[in-house]
Amino acid sequence: MHVLLAVFVLMLAPVLTTVAQPNWSNPKVLQINTVTPNATLFSYPSLTTAVSYDASTSSHYQSLNGSWKFHWSSTPENRPKNFFVKDYNDRNWDTIEVPSNWEIQGYGTAIYSNIPYPFPKEEPHISANDNPVGSYRRNFEVSSDWQDKQLFITFDGVSSAFYIWVNGQKVGYSQGSRTPATFNITNYIKQGKNQLSVEVYRWCDGSYLEDQDFWRLSGIFRDVYLQARPKTYCSDVRIVTDLDEDFIDADLIVELELGGQLYGSVSIHLDDSDGKSFFTAKSAIKEKVIFKTRIKSPKKWTSESPYLYTLFVSCIDSNGKVLEVVPQRVGFREVDIKDNIFKINGVPVKLKGVNRHEHHPETGQVVSRESMLRDIKLFKENNINAVRTSHYPNVPLFYDLCDEYGIYVMDEANIESHAYGTPYWYNHEKTTNPIANKAIWQASHLNRVSRMADRDKNHPCIIMWSLGNEAGSGPNHDATYALLKKVDPTRPVHYESDYRKGLPATDIHSRMYAAPGWNSEKQLTFTGVIKPSLLCEYSHAMGNSNGNLKEYWDHIYATPTHIGAFVWDWMDQGIKKPIPYQYRENIGIGPVKDYALAYGGWEPSAYHNDGNFCMNGLIAADWTPRPGLLAIKKMHEYISVESVAPKEGIYRIYNHFNYNNLQDQVTGRWVLTCDGNPVARGSLKDLDIPAEQNATVQLQLPYIDSKDTHEYILTFTFHATKNYSTLVESGHEIAFSQFNITPINLNSNALDSTDTNTLTFEQSDDFLDIQGSNGLKIRFNKNSGYIEQYEVQKITLFDQPLQLEFWRAIVDNERVLKRKPPIPKDWKNACLGSHISSYTLQQGEHGTLIIEAIIKLEQVNSVAKLQYTIYPTAQIDVELHLKMPTANKIMKGRFPYERFDQISRPRRVGMEFRLPISMQNLDWYGQGPNATYIDRNYERIGLFSGSVDEQWVEYSKPQDNSNKTAVRWAQFTNKQGDGIRLHALSEPMSVAAYNYSIETMETAKYSFEMDRSDHLHVHVDHTQFGIGGVNSWNYGPLEKYLLSDNHYHYKFRILPVLAK
């Protein structure tokens, strides 16, 4: 290892001749006395110990994690300035765990900000008026076994800048919070007890490059450790695997840098996963040693088969004694772009990815091995093969785990300066970001990118570099691009914010939040060049979102030059907090737990916050999966099925795995259902289908009479084998396909006409009261047009109006509507002031009474026609016709809602029941079990059941969340089994049920604030407005999900369900 003094030396003359800025407010000072960046290396005393690949077991390693003495100061002026002296009295200081974020431990303010800096925007300077300082102290022991060794201390992550002292002597300084800083402290330590002091500044000039959309948290938040290295040691390793043109054999190139006293020899050997040695070589020690050899047919590393070899580097003295052994994992893989097609090991690959912040609900930005494995396990279970380390290098262990379990990684530099402007394709010439363009910031850019690349260069999981995120574009990016192409020509470089002609700072044409159908070719006029297309952020998963995924992936799969897409983002950045005292009585009721997952603004402060805009996850901060994750899983499936000759039971199965035979990955099953009930099932015997190939199977299905009016559905499911992933339980379902064998026949819902008694009725000015022989009582309000009471056999099935409803609790993708609003909210109050313009009552066949009411909705210039057909059997058919103003296409505007002259549209077309609160049991036949919407309806058709509360999907803010589409029938009953059943008659309907009103869900910031209603709110809809998913701020749903028709019609039946 070598000491990095260059930046400091460059600064020496100006520091001596001018009034010095503190290092933390001076972009010319990045590190002082740090070691040259290198790959993550751990030293072991022998090969036997190195095989463990666990540094904590090495006698050359000592963790300094744990309890440290801690003092927090609000400003640099107030800090204890001489705290580093050896005999400083810190007995009255607090203790703090390292690693940790001090705000999570109760010091200072946790700030969530998307774009604005939480400090005065005065680049390159940082104000000293509000820059908290954390002072850390601890002692450590140096064993006599470490005598005559070189001692290094490494800080894997400190936010945002820090000084270090050992035994009262200043050692150095570093900034750049997401890559390690290592110091050689050999000349500062002594045997026995030593004292370590660290002074951490919350903000530094580097904070101008750390303007990511996340919680602004501080402190020593990654591992701190010591390493003892022999007098001759391996200071860096670079491993390159260069596959031949047929991607069979490979050249293995190992470049070593040696440090200390250069004597003795160095050897390497490569072992496979069983410990068998493939290659050994030896050389005399010199400053740089390069080994190169051809490896015949090594097993390749891919996300499907992440095979790893281990390289052992041994430093040996002149007497043949092993001084140290340094292991490195090796994956043979090659990344290539040919004809604008992205390939891994010569095979075109689609990246099915997510953006992932490092976040833990209890520890903030301190993540554990267990939490990382939890993420990767969910990736594997849900067909996610790639992750973007948004927007900074992650902890080193994460890359080891991605190597081991097979996740492709876009490794992103810790660079974002969003508050100074980031260009878009339509305005890049008008947006100039000074951080990206001023020469004073170039060293910071280069430093961050080079530290990332030096640390992570040997990980096979990393298949591309990224220069950062939303940081403008300019010469500083050109310099970092050139650096990466020089030091690592084996990987492509990504940068989304470069929209200049020729896209000079990226190998990939990347976009954020482009609508489905975008690719590089469509912007040739602006860029002048075509490059592989990638959506580095898309499908903004804020709240109830992730609509129109099918439209995205249909295009991605059909476009060879489209690499894929990364959802924004993986996990809500919620921080676990106890429920406020005044709401604790709600704990255990509905979705309310004994904790909340807090977002920006939880703690009142003077700092700007962006509310719940940090809650964009496919999973909640406590790892609860959301329906959007299941939709992603469906779109990412590696297996599809096509109907070939259904009458003969012939289907074609496609293997979309890139490398592996299907039978090695999955087993297959099929089941045939009649109206949701299984009638036949079997296993798929022969899945010997090579990668990217297909084969037909023939099933022995039972005979179905052509006159049979029942709905028969054939479902294929595919389940992981033990070879699929060691993290995924064998039998876990990873794909399914469904086929209607017979068409849906809603008219098969037979009408019970056994009761031949007639209905009687009485009329008053306001009401029509109907009675039947089975204790049927129905009250119809002649003023509102609604049925207000429904009773059978003295059991009240509902006693509140069955009313029109055109609104739903606003979802996060519509939050912009509260401010602008581009789509008016007049449909929320569409029924206010409504009145019947005509009312008729007539006798129908089968002894029915038919009520027709025409209701004028003057608020929205629309008309609703309701028709009720009431049967002596107590069944009621409800039919709705809604006529709205015509929405004419005018074809202007960037967003779908701007393409119509009439942008006022309802959020739903349907009716709301308010049932007795006791009817909490829900059964349905339709899509499920998870929530679906018109533009996110990828669940299977089946029979499902559960309580109403179990359907609730908890988002950061309450909103509409648990709708079910394609419902044939749904039933709500109480504990006794009494209730109502709803049958679709015209076409499948949507059904949702809540214990909360729309108004309650819309106004609450957290679910614990909600008061439960006295009635159960059941929505039976013909259709709903799309939830959207392109973004959460201006796009809205795609055009076909805008409810732009001017006429909607549907029909459903109400039936009593009686236990007796």
DSSP structure string for 828-849: GGTTTT-EEEEEEEEE-GGG-E
Distance, in Å, from the CA atom of 72 to the CA atom of 191, rounded to the nearest integer, reads 30
Distance, in Å, from the CA atom of 472 to the CA atom of 475, rounded to the nearest integer, reads 10
Residue 1054, number of CB atoms within 10 A of its CB = 22
Sheet holding 335-338, edge to edge: 335-338, 341-344, 347-348
Residue 1042 has φ and ψ, to the nearest 5°, of: -95, 0
Which amino acid, one-letter code, is at 918?
S
537: annotated active-site residue: yes
Q: Which candidate in 123, 537, 879, 939 is catalytic? A: 537
Strand partners, 981: 971, 1055
Q: Any residues with CB less than 8 A from the CB of 452 and at least 6 apart, and which?
A: 179, 393, 411, 412, 413, 414, 465
Distance, in Å, from the CA atom of 133 to the CA atom of 73, rounded to the nearest integer, reads 5
Considering Cα of 65, then 70, then 76, then 82, what sign does the dihedral take?
negative
Beta strands in 656-776 (DSSP E): 666-674, 677-684, 694-698, 712-720, 733-740, 760-763, 767-771
Strand partners, 1047: 883
Which amino acid, one-letter code, is at 28?
K
141: annotated active-site residue: no
Strand partners, 194: 140
Residue 50: both structure tokens together: 């190195």
DSSP class of residue 147?
T
Which amino acid, one-letter code, is at 90?
D
**Prior bond to 99 cis, omega within 30?**
yes
Residue 566: both structure tokens together: 């990364």
Distance, in Å, from the CA atom of 151 to the CA atom of 60, rounded to the nearest integer, reads 9
What does each C-alpha distance from 783 to 764, 776, 787, 837, 912 come to in angstroms? 11, 22, 11, 9, 18
- Cβ-contact 575, 615 below 8 angstroms: no
3-class DSSP assignment, residue 563: strand
Which amino acid, one-letter code, is at 565?
A
Q: Which candidate in 103, 304, 412, 470 is catalytic? A: 470
Residue 777, number of CB atoms within 10 A of its CB = 17
Q: How many residues does the chain have?
A: 1060
Beta 862-870 vs 335-338: how paired, if at all?
unpaired
Find, among 53, 69, 73, 71, the residue nearest to 61 by Cα: 53
Task: Give the dihedral of Cα atoms 4, 7, 12, 17; nearest 10 deg.
Answer: -170
Categorise residue 898: left if φ over 0, alpha if ψ from -120 to 50, beta otherwise.
alpha
Distance, in Å, from the CA atom of 778 to the CA atom of 791, rounded to the nearest integer, reads 6
Per the listing, tokens 């998307």 go with 114
Which amino acid, one-letter code, is at 504?
P
Residue 833, number of CB atoms within 10 A of its CB = 10
Distance, in Å, from the CA atom of 115 to the CA atom of 597, rounded to the nearest integer, reads 22
User: Which residues belong to the active site?
Assistant: 470, 537
